[in-house]
Amino acid sequence: MESWYPKKGRVIFHVDMNSFYASVEMAYNTKLKGKPVAIAGNPEERKGIIVTSSYEARKKGIRTTMPLWEARKLCPELIVLRPNFDKYRMASKAMFTILSDITPFVQPVSIDEGYMDITECENQGSPLEIADRIQTRILEELDLPCSIGIAPNKFLAKMASDMKKPMGITVLRKRNLSTKLWPLPIEEMYGVGKKTAAKLYEMNVYTIEDLVSADSYQLKRVLGINGERLQNRAKGIDPSPVDPEAVHEFKSIGSSETLPQDTTDELEIKKLFRQLARNVERRLKRKQSVGQSVQITIRYDNRKTITRSRKLPNYIENEDDIMGVSFDLFERNWNQQPIRLLGITVQDIEEKQDVAQQLNLFTYEKEAEREKLYQAIEHLTDKYGKNPFIKPKGIEQENQPRTSFQKDFLDDYKQ
């Protein structure tokens, strides 16, 4: 057991619920077990999209974000259910409560996954024994399957939990990286999306092993600081702690500027907003981050200062999105008096690679509400041969499932 609990190192778990939404539905209705099940916002409508599906459905080719009509074509016997958000929140809370019975060092990162630091849990058995106990308890008490990765850091634990699903327990030690991790295709590495993978292909980086041996200077030139971070993680280096309070982290990136002269000139004001939005976009991209709230600051000629903010359904990072939200806030709140200073701050910041990969139930809930709008637009487009409307701002982007994730309920298990 001493070898499992190193004096200087850490023992980290990544607990990942398997096909979470579908599994929760099966737990409530056991007749669904063993059948192809999918969760979609509007089973009666052609415009629905798949949020998640059971492993039986995945074997038929069903995948997240697939249009419902396509899924039914691939699997005519597919059982499609509407999402039940209260059920999923309750199951998540119960799951994290079980984890917190082992250690207070639990960091939820999405509704169905989280990290645990069990370095100080020698008295509870070996890591394998603890993992087996957690997996068994979640299955027996909640009737839900999960996979657990065990490793010396968060990145390796995350990669390990993906190596065997469902109901897997995988150990990934640094001495096993050359045989277990490095042979994997680069696109399977956590934190490498399609765009990053495409850039890495251009550098002849096709596997994680290629990334380990790649020129670090070139990586940094092409990918910025993220290139160095990815290479370190591929080498098994990830010092980030398991932080139970990370769910409450308040991070922001902003830009503000005092005008040369107090002004009420809307063209000048709009020009400054555009410049501020561009500054914030540049800083977000430099940090490989996205944000979900926008706040503006208005300081008048009499030094009176107000702030106004808006929480968004999706994460944003682009200048146009930041500009659109910011200027709308300004127009709604400006009292027409001369302005001395303006500022834009994007809040609720997350690193792109840490944003949950599966379609967020909260974003999806909003999408489900919009499906009739999308259907009406499509009907008129079919009728007239083109979209007769100027597309509502953001609809093209919002119609694509995002990876955003709200964490405001994730510490409920502590109560």
Point out the catalytic residue in the list 113, 350, 367, 371.
Answer: 113
Residue 348, marked binder: no
Residue type at 48 in one-letter notation? G
Measured CA distances, 307 to 181, 338, 344, 376 (Å): 48, 16, 10, 37
With contact defined as beta carbons under 8 Å apart, do 378 and 69 qualify? no
Half-sphere exposure in the Cβ direction for 385 (13 Å, CA): 0
Residue 202 among the catalytic residues? no
Whether residue 408 is annotated as binding a ligand: the answer is: no
Task: Mention every residue, 6+ apart, whose C-beta is less than 8 A from residue 185.
Answer: 206, 207, 208
- Hey, which residues does 341 pair with through a beta bridge? 258, 299
Whether the Cβ atoms of residue 43 and residue 37 lie closer than 8 Å to each other? no
Nearest Cα neighbor of 124 from 149, 140, 101, 105 is 101
* Binding-site sequence positions: 16, 112
Tell me which residues are annotated as active site: 113
* Binding-site sequence positions for Mg(2+): 16, 112
